[in-house]
């Protein structure tokens, strides 16, 4: 496994791969790898001749006062996990290489970024511009045939898909299912922040999403959402949002349309912000009589 630190090094590696006609897959990460990341790496390994993993904690997607400095990091451990998963190249640049002096360009996706975790009410106004800018840079540097992301970050996946289409990237964006702990908590690097009691408390997030899915066919969307919120509140969690949206557009979902519905949630558990979602498919929407 090669570890590359400089943009010119990844460019040279990609130029070499073009000569061999390799199918290249990219798995972008911010490190502190868990089984969710490993599932993406394994999917890339199955589909691609060469697997590139990026490892970069992106300062541009953190707001002032968020956990940039405290974000969990363990590069040596990440390299070992990546190598075991069959990664061929790790691209791990420094912030100075990604954002050199004078850097002045931002990539923004309108419409999809003003809701949920976006800037509609000032929740995280810089976040998605930071995400799309770094992903655009990675897609440009690696020029992968496929790039792999997880469904846990459903809004992020939607935004990146739109950006890749709008900017004519040749990369196909692949979204894979959320990997969960045994109690349903979505795997996340930030789970490392949770104490044992908070960790147990956080499992209510997935329970609340399941409550909504189960309640929807008989009770309708509004009441199903209220049932999910009640489950969270019973566990002592006040959601930042708990909303139903249409996947792809992120427009507000309406009752009894027969379309897939994305129910997304964000909540802080003892100071740690967690997100999750569930996709309610049409075949699970048998209407009440």
Domain map (residue ranges) of the chain: 2-176, 189-276
CATH architecture, domain defined by 2-176: 3-Layer(aba) Sandwich (3.40)
First-to-last alpha carbon distance for the chain, in angstroms, is 59
Alpha-carbon torsion (72, 98, 26, 128), positive or negative: positive
Q: What are phi and psi of 175, to 5 degrees?
A: -110, 125
Contact 85, 78 (CB under 8 A): no
**pLDDT, tens digit (0-9, with 9 covering 90-100), for 159-185:** 999 999 999 999 999 999 999 999 999
Query: Tens digits of per-residue pLDDT, 42-82?
Result: 999 999 999 999 999 999 998 877 889 999 999 999 999 99
Report whether pLDDT(95) > 70: yes
Q: Grade residue 124 by pLDDT with cuts at 50, 70 and 90.
A: low
pLDDT of residue 284: 67
Do residues 251 and 237 touch, judged by C-beta distance below 8 A? Answer: no
Assess whether pLDDT exceeds 60 at residue 121. Answer: no
Region 198-220: mean pLDDT is: 97
- Is there a contact between 185 and 191 (Cβ–Cβ < 8 Å)? yes
Confidence of residue 12 (pLDDT cuts 50, 70, 90): very high
Listed range (14-23, 38-47, 122-131) with the worst mean pLDDT = 122-131
Cα distance between residue 128 and residue 107, in whole Å? 9
Where do the H-state alpha helices sit in the chain? 7-20, 35-47, 75-84, 95-98, 127-142, 154-166, 196-202, 204-219, 221-234
For the domain made up of 189-276, the CATH class stated in words is alpha beta
Alpha carbon distance 123, 96 (integer Å): 27
> Which band of pLDDT confidence, cut at 50, 70 and 90, is reported for residue 118?
confident
Instruction: From residue 269, give the alpha-carbon distance in Å to each of 69, 181, 191.
Output: 19, 16, 10
Give the percent of the chain with pLDDT over 70: 96
Mean pLDDT of the chain: 94
Distance CA 255, CA 178 (A): 25
Provide the phi-psi class of 23: left if phi over 0, else alpha when psi is between -120 and 50, else beta: beta
Residue 113 reports pLDDT greater than 60:
yes
Three-class HEC string of 224-287: HHHHHHHHHHHCCCCEEEEEEECCCCCCECCCCCCCCEEEEEEEEECCEEEEEEEEECHHHCCC
Q: What average pLDDT score do residues 85-108 get?
A: 97
In this model, does residue 120 exceed pLDDT 90?
A: no
Is residue 37 flagged as an active site residue? Answer: yes
Q: pLDDT digit string (tens) for 137-146? A: 999 999 999 9
Rg (CA), the chain: 19
Phi and psi dihedrals of 150, rounded to 5?
-100, 150
Q: Which of 11, 34, 37, 127 is catalytic?
A: 37
Q: What is the pLDDT of residue 285?
A: 65
């Amino acid at each position: 496994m090669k570890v590359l630190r400089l943009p010119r090094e990844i460019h040279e590696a990609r130029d070499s791969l073009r000569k061999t006609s390799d199918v290249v897959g990219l798995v972008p990460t911010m490190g502190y790898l868990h089984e969710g990341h490993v599932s993406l790496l394994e999917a890339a390994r199955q589909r691609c001749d060469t697997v590139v993993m990026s490892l970069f904690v992106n300062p541009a997607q953190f707001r002032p006062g968020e956990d940039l400095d405290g974000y969990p990091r363990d590069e040596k451990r990440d390299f070992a996990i990546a190598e075991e998963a069959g990664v061929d190249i790790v691209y791990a640049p420094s912030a100075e290489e990604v954002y050199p002096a004078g850097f002045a360009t931002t990539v923004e996706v309108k419409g999809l970024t003003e809701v949920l975790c976006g800037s509609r009410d000032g929740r995280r106004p810089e976040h998605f511009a930071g995400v799309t800018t770094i992903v655009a840079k990675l897609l440009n540097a690696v020029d992968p045939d496929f790039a792999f992301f997880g469904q846990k970050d459903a809004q992020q996946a939607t935004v990146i898909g739109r950006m890749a289409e709008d900017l004519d990237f040749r990369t196909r964006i692949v979204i894979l299912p959320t990997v969960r702990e045994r109690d349903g908590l979505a795997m996340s690097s930030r789970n490392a922040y949770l104490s044992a009691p908070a960790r147990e408390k956080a499992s209510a997030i997935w329970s609340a999403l399941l409550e909504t899915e189960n309640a929807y066919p008989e009770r309708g969307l509004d009441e199903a959402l209220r049932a999910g919120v009640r489950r969270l509140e019973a566990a002592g969690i006040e959601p930042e949002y708990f909303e139903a949206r249409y996947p792809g557009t992120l427009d507000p979902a309406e009752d009894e349309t027969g379309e897939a519905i994305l129910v997304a949630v964000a909540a802080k558990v003892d100071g740690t912000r967690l997100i999750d979602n569930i996709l309610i498919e049409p075949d699970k929407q048998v209407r009440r009589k």
